[in-house]
């Protein structure tokens, strides 16, 4: 089989026996190698490589490892998950404050009470952290190593003399990879959500329902759609198909959680278009809070993925 296409380099004694990728894409998302002369089967995926995880080998030949529920790893992937976790802590705190204010006060005064400066500061801090985390997701893509190292293999006595390049870029272009476009769409979504928060503070949008719907909540709706599209692209990369299904994988379920959370954000943004205060309270604020909590747990699961 010919050598795989893509920006990565692999040892010459690794023979490709299987290659998978979604239709209409150029770069493979899964490669199965046979390492000569011992005929060891190695499974490499673009997501594991990007996240700094080891190449998969048969269970009987893996080195024993202990599952880590918490820890430290100095990598872009690790700090990305930590930033998202920290950002959602601010967002959850802000949304709980909003919900308490709305249920404590009368519905007629709810919209005014919920605009307390403290709540808005929490929201802006959280979304500012999200913007940094989204940029880190982009850095993770453009700073991938050019190939696996001996440390990337979960088996002993694997070595070669191939030089491996470590990237230190602040900006780059990898349009053939799904993860690149997922990162770009995520950054656009976070920027739109910040725009939604800014417009929410302008008096003109507060007192005009049409302007409020178009100027404040349409950016939020598009942002939530971007979040959902990002998670779908990551699912496609993981499943090597446009209709991914890998229920045996922890990563599959954490991505499904993020997809569900994105749809909760989308539903909350759509409910905010209603004039009815009950719909705005339970359909918007409660749903936003639920989405943020689901996001938080999914990013903790993402941290476990990076650590293990």
pLDDT in tens, the chain (308 residues): 556 656 777 877 788 888 898 977 778 888 888 887 778 888 889 999 888 887 887 665 666 678 888 999 888 999 999 999 999 999 999 988 888 777 665 444 445 544 567 788 899 999 999 999 999 999 999 988 777 766 666 554 554 444 445 567 889 999 989 999 999 999 999 999 999 988 887 877 777 777 777 788 899 999 999 999 999 999 999 999 999 999 999 999 999 999 999 999 999 999 888 766 677 777 788 899 999 999 999 999 999 999 98
Is there a contact between 44 and 68 (Cβ–Cβ < 8 Å)?
no
Strands 30-35 and 14-20, sheet pairing:
antiparallel
Closest to 32 measured CA to CA, from 24, 48, 20? 20
Is there a contact between 155 and 59 (Cβ–Cβ < 8 Å)?
no
Give the separation between CA 190 and CA 12, rounded to whole angstroms.
Answer: 42
Give the separation between CA 194 and CA 226, rounded to whole angstroms.
Answer: 13
**Partners of residue 30 on adjacent β-strands:** 20, 45
Tokens of 53: 């995880």
Helices 76-104 and 286-307, interaxial angle, to 10°?
160
């Amino acid at each position: 089989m010919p050598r795989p296409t893509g920006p990565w380099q692999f040892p010459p004694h690794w023979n490709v026996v299987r290659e998978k990728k979604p239709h209409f894409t150029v770069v493979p998302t899964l490669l199965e190698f046979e390492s000569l002369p011992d005929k060891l089967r190695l499974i490499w995926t673009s997501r594991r490589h990007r996240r700094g995880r080891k190449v998969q080998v048969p269970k009987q030949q893996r080195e024993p490892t202990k599952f880590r529920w918490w820890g430290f790893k100095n990598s872009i992937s690790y700090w990305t998950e930590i930033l998202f976790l920290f950002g959602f802590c601010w967002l959850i705190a802000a949304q709980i404050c909003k919900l308490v204010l709305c249920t404590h006060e009368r519905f007629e005064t709810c919209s005014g009470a919920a605009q307390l400066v403290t709540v808005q500061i929490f929201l802006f801090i959280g979304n500012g952290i999200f913007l940094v985390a989204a940029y880190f997701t982009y850095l993770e893509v453009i700073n991938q190593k050019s190939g696996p190292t001996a440390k990337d293999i979960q088996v002993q006595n694997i070595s070669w003399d191939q030089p491996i390049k470590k990237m230190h870029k602040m900006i780059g272009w990898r349009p053939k990879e799904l993860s690149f476009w997922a990162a770009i769409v995520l950054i656009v979504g976070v920027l739109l959500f910040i725009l939604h928060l800014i417009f929410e503070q302008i008096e003109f949008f507060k007192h005009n329902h049409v302007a409020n719907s178009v100027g404040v909540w349409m950016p939020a709706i598009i942002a939530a759609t971007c979040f959902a599209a990002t998670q779908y692209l990551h699912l496609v990369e993981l499943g090597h198909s446009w209709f991914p299904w890998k229920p045996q994988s922890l990563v599959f379920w954490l991505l499904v959680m993020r997809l569900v959370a994105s749809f909760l954000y989308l539903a909350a943004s759509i409910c905010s278009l209603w004039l009815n205060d009950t719909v705005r309270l339970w359909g918007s604020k409660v749903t936003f809070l639920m989405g943020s909590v689901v996001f938080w747990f999914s990013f903790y699961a993402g941290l476990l993925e990076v650590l293990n």
